[in-house]
Chains A and B, each alone.
Chain A
Amino acid sequence: MTQVDPQVLARARARITGPVAFPAAEPVPAGLTRVAAGERVWALPAWPDGATPAVLEEYQTLPMPLDRPGQARRVLAAALRCCWTRLDDAPWPGRAAALTDVLELYATTTRGDAELMRRWAVGDLRRLADTGWLLLDEEAGTVRPGPRTALWAEESLAPLRALLRRMPPPPGGSDE
């Protein structure tokens, strides 16, 4: 086997494993964005020229297919409403919120059987955590924004902020 550039190898590994945290002391391979919080660091793909996958739509290219993207995004919005309390700051790193608050908020903002909604929301929270959009700690029952939220461009956040202001506060009363 030929010798592979360790940088290339590290980059390939980061792309295969997806957003996996590693200690802050380790270097981040070139071509990846370093997203740090405390002692942990995530290496995420850097978008060329600041473009995000949202431009796929402009080129009429299908993005990565998602199961029920609307539901997943509503769950993400509910989680952000609980975690991203200081809306003038960036969503990342945010703060941890109780899982029950997120589920309760989601169940009250959507129509349907509340118990079923909660179960679906848990599944979506796990999927969002798998892909780095949320950091889920099921044992402690907390959820935080994931490292991928750090890739949102600041200028694209205004409508999201407005939306979160309109959403009802989390029932736990932890809203400031």
Chain B
Amino acid sequence: MLVGEAVLGVYRQMFAALARDAGAVVDDPELVDIAETLLSAFAEAGEEGLSREQMRHVCRHHPAEAFENRLRVLRGLGAIREVFPKPNQLRYRASFTSVVGLMFVRRMMLDGGQSEMHRLLALEQLNVADPRMTAEQARAGAEGLGRAFRLWSVELLTLANSTIEELREQAPKLWGTAEIIERAERLHGAILRRWPELDRTCTELRAAIHAYGDASRRAAARLTDSAGTTRNLTLLPPETWRTYARTASREELAGVLDGFVFDAPAPWHDPAAIVTAVQEGPRTTPPRPAPPRPSVPDPGLSDRTPADRSEADRLAGIAEQVLRGRDRVEVHQVLNRDWATARRLLADLSAAHLHPELPYRLVWSDGLRARPGSSPSWLSDGVFERLGEAP
């Protein structure tokens, strides 16, 4: 929608002098497309012209209402006329001036006013060299250009005082100004050399050119200033930044960061980081080789009972062996063996007592048997018993 708005802005500016009121200027770019379609159809039709039905056929892609509206306006303004000015005329022809005007409109849409200024300057340069050119025409041309430059510099000055976003949006107006100024000054010199009596007009033109140059420099300076301080790299096109980086002197480049203070590099080595670095560093002794693996394949875990289960089974087996069918047995009878065996057996019985799933219990009482010379040299009184039924 923004593009359409911009295009409409160009239209309004261009035809503001012609419009009866604001509503007289088209408010939809499509309407211009209708006019252009019509005019090119007329160009192909030749001297026969087009009938109303043919015109409607050409514009069949556009809504009928818009077409009728366009036809009425174009006829009213004389862009499309009857072939013969008589009542009930059915054939129409198009005006040459409107086509040229439309070409101009399209060019303004594509390039904007600045390149039109280039064209005007080039055209005026040709005119000045033309021997048929009179002093009066030269004066009119110079005055027109002076007026254009004045208005342009006013616009730029307003821009230079407006917000930076607006300035950025309109920034393309600022580019290539040096070339325009150079051309304008060349033209000014040519006019002054050929018609020295036009010096008053030329002074006006010169002042206007200088005013334009000042205004555009100020706007550009504001743009680069704010671009430099905000570090907003989108404020200027990337090409401009690249050119600047390539062509700027060392002082200019250093000036970008003027007023900034940079800390000296201060890497931090934390004691913990040093410890980590040393521990993770490559060592003089190579890491130990892995122990050799057996060459037979690993049987895997599938046919092994879980460690927990088999331990409970083993303890139950030992407990039943000790009990030998009885429900309880005195500990001193059981442990009456050599020290190593007795110790291992006591450990297993304690384990059976502590195992939550096994129904055995060790109960100690107060008595103590001293057995000088025997293998466990003393034994506490106690019983090892089964809780519940025998399996």
User: Are B263 and A73 in contact (CB-based, < 8 A)?
Assistant: no
Residues from chain B with a CB closer than 8 A to the CB of A37 are: none
Tell me the residues in window 49-71 of chain A with beta carbons closer than 8 Å to chain B beta carbons.
52-54, 63-64, 66, 69-71
Measured between alpha carbons, how far is A53 from B284 in the docked complex, in Å?
32
Q: Using an 8 Å CB-CB cutoff, how does the interface string of B257-268 with A read, 1 for contact, 0 for none?
A: 000011111111
Contact A159 B271 (CB under 8 A): yes
| The residue from A16, A52, A70 contacting B270, defined by CB atoms under 8 A apart | A52
Cβ of A131 within 8 Å of any chain B Cβ, yes or no, is yes
Contact between A16 and B275 (Cβ–Cβ < 8 Å)? no
Contact pattern, A 72-115, Cβ under 8 Å of B = 1, otherwise 0: 11101100100000000000000000000000000011111000
Tell me how far the C-beta of B268 lies from the nearest C-beta in chain A, rounded to whole angstroms: 4
Closest A residue to B274 by beta carbon equals A73
Asked if B268 and A70 sit within 8 Å, CB to CB, the answer is: no
- Measured as residues with beta carbon below 8 angstroms from the partner, the interface class of chain B is 20 to 34
Closest CB in chain A relative to B280 CB, distance in Å: 7
B273 within 8 A of A: yes
- Option from B264, B273, B282, B286 in Cβ contact (under 8 Å) with A73: B273
Residues A156 and B271 in contact in the complex (CB < 8 Å), given A12-B261, A74-B281, A111-B283: yes
CA distance A31 to B280 in the complex (A): 36
Looking at the complex, which one of B261, B266, B282 makes contact with A131 (CB distance below 8 Å)? B266
- Of B261, B263, B280, B283, which contacts A70 at CB under 8 A? B280
Q: B276 to chain A: which residues have CB within 8 Å?
A: 73
Q: Which residue of A lies closest to B264 (CB)?
A: A18
Cβ-closest chain A residue relative to B281: A74
Minimum CB distance partner of B277 in chain A: A73
Distance of A53 Cα from B286 Cα, bound (Å)? 34
Query: A127 — nearest CB in chain B belongs to which residue?
Result: B267
* Residue from the list A66, A156, A162 in contact with B267, Cβ < 8 A: A66
A144 to B272, CA, bound (A): 20
- Contact A156–B284 (Cβ < 8 Å): no
B:232-265 near A, CB below 8 Å: 261-265
Chain A residue contacts of B273, Cβ below 8 A: 54, 69, 73
Q: With A70-B280, A109-B284, A111-B282 in contact, do A15 and B272 touch (Cβ < 8 Å)? A: no
Q: Does A3 contact B (CB under 8 A)?
A: no
Residue A133 is within 8 A (CB to CB) of chain B in the complex:
yes
**In the complex, chain A residues whose CB is within 8 Å of the CB of B275:** 159-160, 162-163
Q: Is the CB of B281 within 8 A of A70?
A: yes
A51 smallest CB distance to B (angstroms): 11
With an 8 A cutoff between CB atoms, is B123 at the interface?
no
For the complex, is B340 an interface residue (Cβ under 8 Å from A)? no
Interchain CB contact (< 8 A) of A111 among B263, B278, B284: B284
- In the complex the two chains form, is A17's CB within 8 Å of B264's CB? yes
With both beta carbons as reference points, the residue of chain B lying nearest to A112 in the complex is identified as B282
Question: Is A45 engaged at the interface, CB distance under 8 Å to the other chain?
Answer: yes
Assembly CA distance A16 to B282 (angstroms) = 36
A residues in contact with B280, CB < 8 Å: 70
Q: Is A22 an interface residue (CB 8 A)?
A: no
In the bound complex, CA of A34 to CA of B275 (Å): 27
With contacts A77-B277, A160-B275 known, is A15 near B270, CB below 8 A? no
B270 touches A133 (CB 8 A): no
A64 partner, pick from B266, B271, B272, beta carbons under 8 A = B266
Answer whether residue A10 sits at the interface, using C-beta atoms and an 8 A cutoff: no
- Assembly CA distance A58 to B263 (angstroms): 23
B274 contact from A18, A77, A108, A111, Cβ within 8 A: A77
In the complex, A157 has a CB within 8 A of chain B: yes
B268's partner among A17, A63, A111, A157 (CB-CB below 8 A) is A63
Q: Cα distance A157–B272 when bound, in Å?
A: 8
Task: Indicate if B269 sits at the interface (CB-CB under 8 A).
Answer: yes
Q: Enumerate chain B residues within 8 angstroms of A16, measured Cβ to Cβ.
A: 261-264
Which 6 A-B pairs have CB atoms at the shortest separation, nearest pair first? A18-B264, A73-B277, A53-B268, A160-B271, A111-B282, A54-B270
Chain A residues within 8 Å of B, Cβ to Cβ: 12, 15-19, 45, 52-54, 63-64, 66, 69-74, 76-77, 80, 108-112, 130-133, 148, 152, 156-157, 159-160, 162-163, 167
- 13 of the cross-chain contacts (CB-CB < 8 Å) are A16-B261, A18-B266, A53-B268, A64-B267, A72-B267, A73-B276, A73-B278, A109-B278, A110-B281, A110-B282, A111-B286, A156-B270, A159-B275
